[in-house]
Every structure is written in C-alpha cells, then in structure tokens.
Structure 1
Amino acid sequence: MGKKHGGHLLVECLRALGAKKGFGVPGESYLAVLDGLYDTKGELDLVLCRNEGGAAFMAAAYGKLTGQPGLCFVTRGPGATNASIGVHTAMQDSSPMILFVGQIDTATREREAFQEVDYRAFFGPIAKWATEIDHVDRIPEILSRAWTTAISGRPGPVVVALPEDMLASMPSVPALSRAVTVTPPAASAETLLDVRNALAAARRPVILMGGGGWTAEGSATLKSFAEASDIPVIVAFRYLDRYDNHSPTYAGDAGVGMLPAIRETLTRSDLILALGVRFGEMTTGAYTLFDLPDMAQTLIHVHGSDRELGKIYQPDIAVHASADGFARALAAQPVKGDWAEWRKTAREGYEATFDLPEQPGPVDMSKVIAYLREHLPEDAILTNGAGNFAIWPNKYFRFGPGQRLLAPQSGAMGYGLPAAIAAKVAHPERPVVCIAGDGDFQMNAVELGTAMQIGATPVVLILNNGTYGTIRMHQERHFPERVSGTDLVNPDFAALASAYGFHGERVERTEDFAAAFERAMASPTGAVLDLVIAIEALTPRQTLSQIRQIGKAETKS
C-alpha cells in the first residue's frame, strides 16, 4: 500500500477514539473509508446492512445500549436520506451516534450535481450537529469534536459529510491519539441541600426519571436513594429499563397509553424531581398533565444540557448537572418524610395494571408476556419498534436491573429488528428478543440478511394480526366501520425466516407458545416466531368491536 489518504486517517482517528463497530451500506462516494477499514478487521469492523434506514437504526440502538457513539456509514443522496430516520430516532432518544455521509467533490457543490444534498441544511433540524469536512487535515479536529458532541450534555446524533476528493487527498497531520474525557456538569453542595429541603417539605413527592446518559451505577444509586427515602419513581416513555421494576418504589411509566393509576400519581403529586427528562409529548400526556408554563407541583429539573432547563416548564429549582451523577450525589443522604402511604398507593396502582382480561383469539399476549416475565434471563435485552403491539413489552414486562429495553421515543416503525441485531453485535453472549408487529417487522425484514451474514442470533416474535393496529384503532374511533388503507396481506413469516437461515415457526395457540419459545431460544441461528393474534385483540383492555361501538356512539352525538 502507498501513502495514506484521508480515508485511512479517518479510520485511524475512529480507532483512537475507541470505536469498535460501525454499521452501513457501501457507496462509491466513500470508497477511501472502506479502503481504510480493510486494515482494521477484528478491531474496527463494518457490519454490512441491507438498507441505510436499518443501518442507522442499528447505530442509534448501539449508542443507546453502550453509551458510546453508534457509527453509521452511508453514501450521498438516497443513502443519506434513507438514514435520516435513524438520526431522528437517536435525537429523540438522546442517544449518541455519528452518521458519516459520502459527499460529492467540493469543486461541484451548489450545481445540483448527481445525488447532491446540503447536509447541514437537511440534517440541521434533527441532529445535534451537522457539518462537512472541507480539508483532509481537519479530519482529526472535526472527528474529536463530533465524538465529544455526541456523548456530552444531552447525548445525540452528529452528521459528518465527507467529500470524495477530500477523502482521497493526502493529509499532512497525524491521527488522533485518544478521546477527550468530558467531565459532566455537577450540582453544588448548596444546590443539593436546596433539593433535599424541597423534598423534605413535600407531602406527595415523585421522581420522574428518563433520558440518555444513565449508567448501571447511576440507576442503582437512584434506586438506593428512592428506597431509603420511600419516594415513588415513574420513568419516562420507553425508559422503563433504567429503573428496577421490581423495587417497591417503582410506580410505572409515563408514556403512550398512560394508565389512569400512573396519571393519578403524577397529577396528585405536589413535587416532581425530574432527572434527565426532556418533557416530551408522551411523558406529559400531550402536555395536559401539568399546567403550562408553571406546574402546580414544585418542579426540580435536573438535566445535563442547559438547553432543556425551562424549555417547556419553568422549574422552581433548575439544576444543570448530569442526572446520573446527580442521582449518585443524592444517594449519599436519603430524605425522610411522612409519605409512606403515598408511596404504597402509587405502587399498588402500578401493580393493579397487571390485572388484565383474557385476550380474544388464538394467541393470548397477556399469557405470552407473563411467560417472558417469568423465564427470560436477568441479562436479557428486549427491543421493539412502534405500534399497538409495543404496549406488551412497554407496559407488561417487568425489567430487572440487568435487563435492557431498546425502543424508539420517535415512534418509528421498523426499529426493533435492527436494534436486536445491534444488541447482538454489542453483546453476542446475551439473549435478545425483538417483539414486532407484522407491519412493523416488514419495514426492515431484509435486515435478517445482515443477521445471517454476521451470525447475529436474536429471537423475533411477530404479533401477526393482519393490520396496522394503531391506525386501525384510531380509524374505528373516528371513522367506525370505514376501514381504509390498514389491512395487511402478509407473507409466510416462518418460510421467510427459513430462507434467511433462521429457525421459523408459526404459533397458532397460546398453549403452544412456551415450547416454541424454548426451541427458538435453543436455535443456534436465531429464530422467528409468527404469533397468530386476533384483530379483535387490538388493545389489552378494549377489543376492536368495543372501540368501534364507542366510535359509533361518539359520531352520532
């Protein structure tokens, strides 16, 4: 090999920053980077994906799971625009990610050249930072900034465009030698005292936990503080894995389909300690749970990004600090108050949510999720995309401290399977179960080919009810009996799985699930189980017919 070009320099910098894996679809616009990756096999490997959207989902999930930037490599134009769904998801999830996009030559910019896109303009609204490297010698500088930006403050995605001629140029600067260690912001002793005093003065305090940047240690110390202080904890939408659901202080999640017991705990509280939460639409019941801009409750908002403080609600105490680190500082001195009955009531409200009616149809998901609660190992990772089916892992699975959930706050369909593959890439020794709807699964079903090629072996449960369930639910509520654009004709999912080398089975009765799942978990090549779900079982507590009758009554009134 001759002199090292910009593609080699970029790869060497990524290795120095600590990168181990990347996900992508090849393109001629970044051939120099692919050439650089030729020499790093076993140290920095590219997972070859089938679609840029799937690759970006894998990178976003990898970042969420590991806390290190998930790397994605795509070509210009169509490749970048396909990948935008993963960038949007990483931003809403507060997950670190870097998307590298091959770009046209610098000499042909602003001529609407073949596949030309202005990536700063295109990704600016949905990324934490979007930039382009104009000169090869700036690769180390910009990669260091991109990595640091992705992991610091509120973690998020960074987009870096790589002009083809820049990558082919010969640099005159050395590669990075290390990553920058960022010390997160921390609360002062005075602020901690103010927070403890406010908690002690409350009668019905609640801890609302969420956001990116949490570590296992931070979660454990928050649990220690909450249990010692006897304060109920509610987690934000799709962050229920960040707190031990078995703790007597765990009181449920604030998310889509928020159940009355959780709403009541939040609305009756007189103090909310929000740790890492960005107050999204789902966590606030579409901004109806709390008065705007001043909550009736005392609000203590702790966030690693100063841009989140006062963004939606005006806090009584605003703390610019890492939520993870703040939890560890709190744990050193619990707070006592007369709220034992309050905490007990909050927990009982959560426990009551598991009292579900029998589900109509061939396979009863209430029994399936109960089986998974009892039998999945303590280090299992669950993934899901978006749809009504997601209520099962997001409401009715109890996550222990060693289990993880990868699910998109953006509500993006098709995330579950790529996330499961990324989880297996990060932790091949851990059991990974993807729960997907039939429509959701088909958004990225081709990524089974990625799993087959790299030997990733997740178990995929497809809840097959032949419809886009969430849209059908709203359709029946607002336009009852006028079904349009929501029915699905599906392939033989078991046969499709077999074509990709997976174990595939169709499960047509609830009583057959346990044995089928055992076979799936034992499969050395991964597995897909096609669960036959009745369309009537549209939600855990309301059938399609009941929803339609409600819709008919409302449209008549």
Structure 2
Amino acid sequence: MTDTVASTIVTHLERRGVARVYHVPGESFLGLLDALHDSPIRLVTARQEGGAGFMALAEARLTGRAGVVAVTRGPGAANASIAIHTAYQDCTPLVVFVGLISTHVRDLESFQEFGLAAWFGSTAKAVFTLDHPETAAERVARAFEIAESGRPGPVVIGLPEEVLVAPVARPRDLAPAERPPARYGDDALAAAARALAAAERPVFVVGGDSWDEASAARLRRIAEHAAIPVVSDFRSHDAFPHSSPAWVGSLGFGRNAGAAEAYGEADLVCYLGTTRRDVLSDEYTLGGGEATTIVVGDDADLLAHEGQTTLHYVAPPGAWLDGLTELAEGSPERRARLQRERKAYVAWSTPAASRVGEDVWRGEVFGAMQRLLPDDAIITAGAGSYVIGALRYLHHERPRTFAGPRNGAMGMGVPAAVAASLVHPDRTVVALAGDGCFGMNGQELATLQATGGRAIVVVIDNSGYGTIRSHQERHFPGRPSGTVLTNPDYAMLARAHGIPGHRVDDAADFAPVFARALDSGSSALIWLRLDPIVPGEAA
C-alpha cells in the first residue's frame, strides 16, 4: 500500500504514543480520518470544535504531553480558537490539525478559506502548512517538539485537502527527540541556596503543568524543613499538597489573606514553573518589592515575567529541586511566620456555619465534596464565580488533579471531564459548571455518553452571568444589564442524554445527593438551583 501524507502523520502520532485524537469531522481532512481508521489511536468525536479543543487541552494538563485535536477550515477553526488561546496563555502543549482548502483554489476567496497564520500567529507558538508531501512528517515531528519544549503552548498545522492524500515516495520514520532535563551542578545552585538560607521572608510560588508527585514531594521536604511558605499561581493549586504545613494558599482571584501576606511581604520570591504575571500579582500591585527574585522554568525568554530577575535557571522545577543543596532548618522567626500564615489559610479554607452570604452555599456544597471525594479525584471546571468555592474548599494532594482554564475561558468543565474520564477511567471525575459556563459546551454530555466515560457534573445555576453581574454592581450599582439568563431544566436535559439528573433546591440537601451519585458507579448531573442574581427576573 502506498504511503500518503495522512498515513505518515498517523504513523508519527503512533510513534509518539498519542492515545487519542479529539475532533469534529470535516470534508477538508477526510484523508486523515481515513488514515486513523485502522490505527490504535482512538478517535473521539465531539459535538463542537471548542469542546474538542478543551478535551485535548485537558488531556495535556493531566498527562504532561501534548494533546491533539483536529478540526476543519474556517468555521471549525474559529470554534477551536478558544482552546488555542487558552493553551497559549496557560502554557499547555497542544497540537492542532486544521483541514484547509486545496492549494489550487488558494487566495481566491474560496469556500471557508482563511489565513491560518493571520488567525493564529499571535496565539500559537508556531503555525505550519504542509504543502510538501516529502517533508510533512518532519514538520509534524517539529510541531510536537515546539509544543512541548521551552515554554509549552499550541502549534497549529494546516492540512491542504489534496496534500493529505498525496503519495510519499520516501516516508521517514522519525523517532521523538529526547530532551534530557537540564541539570545544574552544585556551583550553579549555590547562589540560590545561599539566598534562600539568608532571606528572612522567602516564599515559593508554584505553577505550570510540569509538576508530578515526585517533584511536589521534593519541594514539600525543602519547604517544611526550611520553613518557607508555598503559594501557587492562579489555578495551579493542585501542584503542591494542601496538607503540608508549608502550604498557605493560591494567589489570584479569590485568594486568601495568608497567601497575600506570604507573597506580598516576601524579601525573596522563588518562582517554580511560573513567573510574575498580572493575575497572581493583582495586576502588579502585590509583591514585586523583594530584594531577590529567582525564576525556575523552561521558558528561556521569560515572556510573561514582569519585574526583576536576580537568578534565572532554565530547567523544569523538579530537576532544579533535585540538584538544590539541602537548606538549613528554618529559623524560629521564619517558622512563626509560616505558622501564622498557615493558620490563616486553614481557617479560611474550612467551611464554617457562622459565615453569612454566598459563603454559606459554597461551604455546604464544596465542603460536602471535600468530605466525600477520594484524594485522587479529578476536578474540572470552566470560569465563573462558582469556581472560587472550589479553589477555597477543595483540597488537592496530588498534582494533575485539577483541569481548568487560567485565562478565564468559559465552557471547559464538561469537555475536560470527558478527557479526564478517558485518561483515568479508574478515578472519580467531577465537572463543575455555572449555568452560563454549561451553556457553552454542555452538549458534550453526549460525547461523555458516547465514549463510555463517567463523570459527575454539577451545574450551579444562579440564572445569570454571576461574575459579570458582580462587576456591574461595583461599577454601576443597581443597574443590571444583559447578565440575566433563562435556563432549561438541567436534570431533564441530562436524562435526555441517558444520564441520571437530580435537582437540588437547597444547598443543605446537596451532600446526600452527591453521595448517591458517587456510589452509583455511573455518570450523573446535579442541578443546584441558587437564588437568581437579579431577584424576580429569572426563575
């Protein structure tokens, strides 16, 4: 059988160990779909390209390897752009195949034609078009290397329709490049060790997707011994075990006072896998006054870092921590400060009946989840004020147990749960979605059922776009405009997909419903109805 461009692409995907390709089919890449027909790679068919992209992004977040998504030209690529932007801002590796028009009708305003580089040049690490059959496999191999190396991110590959089925006379079997992690000797790390030992108020800031249990455990030993508090970048809170006495919370939206003190008053900040970005620093108003700044990560250019850099190590955090000289035991002053910040975090992250307002339902709902979920449960989410409760009350003990967008993209919770249930079919997966968030990709319940996945979907319904409504109230009090939603019966919608649906009208009744869903062994949707954000304007 003659090799084609499409078959050489699939061969390379198999060689890389790609387990799944998420997609919405299109006539522009039929050749690739045909080449996948006899491949062990699972083809996961989503209902919308944005959902497919979020599935691939979640797979990357949970595995540390590039997720793969395939979409068609024009409208399909437009729908997938939300996942590409998220992967770029979140520094998550993603390879996006986009079917294109045939080359002989290019630049003629042809049906669904668009400029691939013009669309994605500012939100992708690289954009390729496979115009030459003999070098197609090399370009695909290069795309994966770019996506996964340095600062990770998305790479977009254009697939002209007729090129996919073109013969390849001399197909190349390209093994994935080996990238041994950078290792620094004792001399190179001595300056960092001395600075960490000498600082009075040091802090570690963790982030990124490269954390695993070994690297988290190594940081835990160092931080607890040296009495150095650990905080996380926004929505990177699963990188470090929350049971550690060194953990004092995450930065960014919904942060706690202990984390803000640890970061804002530090005289040494050591960034591990992240940098000083706008969200974690409250738009650069928190922190930045430290005497010493250490940055450790794969990004040699520090594109997203604002502020000084005293020491810069281009290495994964785990490799850097492995080489770090054991630090001296923390001073009594450092230990007292850490204990104070930890106490503030524990009080803040423990539901209390005495709290009033929104924290009552958040404490009821997420407190119940925390009590009932196993330590290795995976939480997926989109964006919205509902996520603040998860960041506050759900505690993570293992890296790669949370998949949500750091760029504020809505609609990721349900599609991310599809991917999580396929990557880890033996683990509990919970998808969180506000009513606005669910409306953007809730159709992927059908994909969850079609793939045989299992997830508990919690739809938190306040009849509106709650985050935007809160901003309106601050800037234009008493004048709600354009933020109210009229919603369907979500329990009935779930049942229409073959998924048990449960309606909960009082947060106090959530725990037993959630417990039964956990015990059922199947997917379930729990519709939690809250008071409308604008009373009287929505049911």
* TM superposition score normalised by structure 2: 0.95
- Alignment counterpart, residue 183 of structure 1, candidates 167, 180, 184: 180
> Mean alpha-carbon deviation: is it higher for 115-124 or for 360-369?
360-369
User: Counterpart of 2:341?
Assistant: 346
User: Among 401, 404, 416, which residue is 1:404 paired with?
Assistant: 401
- Correspondent of 2:307 among 313, 335, 357: 313
Structure 2 partner of 1:334: 327
State how far apart, in whole Å, the 2-side matches of 1:217 and 1:176 are: 33
1:450 to partner: Cα distance: 0.7
2: distance between equivalents of 1:39 and 1:402? 34
| Contact 1:7–1:167 (8 Å) recurs in 2 | yes
| Cα distance in 2, alignment partners of residues 249 and 306 from structure 1 | 28
Cα deviation, residue 259, structure 1: 2.7
Report the Cα distance in structure 2 between the residues aligned to 1:395 and 1:14, rounded to whole angstroms: 39
Alignment check: 8 A CA contact 1:309 1:318 kept: no
Taking the aligned partners of 2:518 and 2:15, their CA distance within structure 1 comes to 37
> What residue is the counterpart of 1:385 in the other structure?
382
Which amino acid counterpart does residue 111 of structure 2 have in structure 1? Answer: F
CA distance in 1, matches of 2:389, 2:322: 31
Q: Unpaired segments of 5 or more residues in structure 2?
A: none
1:495 and 2:489 are equivalent in the alignment: no
Find the aligned partners of 1:175 and 1:71 in 2 and give their Cα distance: 21
Q: Secondary structure at the match of 2:364?
A: helix
- Partners of 2:185 and 2:375 in 1: how far apart? 36
- Which residue pairs with 1:169 in the alignment? 166
Give the fraction of aligned pairs with identical amino acids, expressed as a percent.
Answer: 39
Residue 403 of structure 1: how far off its partner (Å) = 6.6
Amino acid at match of 1:162: L
Equivalents in 1 of 2:304, 2:410: separation in Å? Answer: 31
Letter in 2 for 1:14: L
Correspondent of 1:269 among 242, 266, 286: 266
1: distance between equivalents of 2:55 and 2:400?
Answer: 19
SS at match of 1:461: strand
Aligned-partner residue type, residue 261 of structure 1: G
Q: Deviations over 1:289-310 (max 9, x none)?
A: 134xxx3331111121111178
Q: Counterpart of 1:298 in structure 2: which amino acid?
A: T
What's the counterpart of residue 553 of structure 1?
none
What residue is the counterpart of 2:231 in the other structure? 234
Matched, 1:76 2:73: yes
1:479-518 maps to which residues of 2 (within 5 A)? 479-518=476-515
**Deviations 1:473-498 (Å, cap 9, x if unpaired)?**
01111111111111111000000000
TM-score normalised per structure 1: 0.92
In 2, distance between residues paired with 1:177 and 1:277?
A: 32
Quickly say closer, same or farther: Cα 1:457–1:277, change in 2 above 3 A: same
Match of 1:32 in 2: 31
Q: 1:342 to 1:363 in 2, by over 3 A?
A: closer
Letter aligned with residue 31 of structure 1: L
Q: Which runs of 5+ in 1 are unaligned?
A: 539-543, 545-557
Give the AA of the match of 1:530.
Answer: W
2:284 is aligned to 287
Q: Structure 1 residue 209 and structure 2 residue 206: aligned?
A: yes
Q: Which amino acid aligns with 1:334?
A: L
The question of whether the paired residues in 2 share the 8 Å contact of 1:378 and 1:402 is answered with: no
* TM-aligned CA deviation for residue 250 of structure 1: 0.2
**AA in 2 matched with 1:10:** I
1:468 Cα shift?
Answer: 0.5
CA distance in 1, matches of 2:525, 2:328: 48
Q: Shift of the alpha carbon at 1:525?
A: 3.7
2:54 touches 2:83 (CA, 8 Å); kept in 1? yes
Contact 1:206 1:271 in 2 (8 A): yes
Following TM superposition, by how much is the alpha carbon of 1:222 offset from its aligned partner in structure 2, in angstroms? Answer: 1.1
Deviation of the 1:8 alpha carbon: 1.3
Identify which of 106, 120, 138 aligns with 1:141.
138
**2:458 aligned to which of 457, 461, 483:** 461
Aligned position for 2:93: 96
CA contact (8 A) 2:239 2:399 kept: no
Of the three residues 335, 344, 368, the one matched with 1:371 is 368
Aligned equivalents of 1:198, 1:277: Cα separation in 2: 19
Once the 2 structures are TM-superposed, how far is the Cα of residue 453 of structure 1 from its aligned partner?
0.8
TM-superposed CA distance for 1:360, in Å, is: 4.9
Residues of 2 paired with 1:443 and 1:112: CA distance? 30
Letter in 1 for 2:449: M
Q: Distance in 1 between matches of 2:443 and 2:67?
A: 21
**Cα distance in 1 between the residues matched to 2:64 and 2:34:** 27
Partner Cα distance (2:255, 2:519) in 1: 36
**Residues 1:132 and 1:326: Cα distance change in structure 2 (over 3 Å):** same
1-structure distance, mates of 2:114, 2:134: 23
* 1:550 alignment counterpart: none
Alpha-carbon distance in 2 for matches of 1:146, 1:289: 37
State whether residues 185 and 304 of structure 1, in contact with CA within 8 Å, keep that contact through their aligned partners in structure 2.
no
The match for 1:531 is 528
* Deviation of the 1:177 alpha carbon: 4.7
Q: Deviations over 1:99-146 (max 9, x none)?
A: 000011122222222111221221111111111111111122111111
Count, aligned residues: 531
- Give the conservation status (yes or no) of the 8 Å contact 1:362–1:533: no
CA RMSD of aligned residues (A): 1.9
Which residue of structure 2 lines up, in the alignment, with residue 22 of structure 1? 21
Name the residue aligned to 1:256. Answer: 253
1:243 to 237, 240, 245: 240
Give, as a single letter, the amino acid of the residue that structure 1 aligns with 2:524: A
Q: Which residue of 2 aligns with 1:131?
A: 128
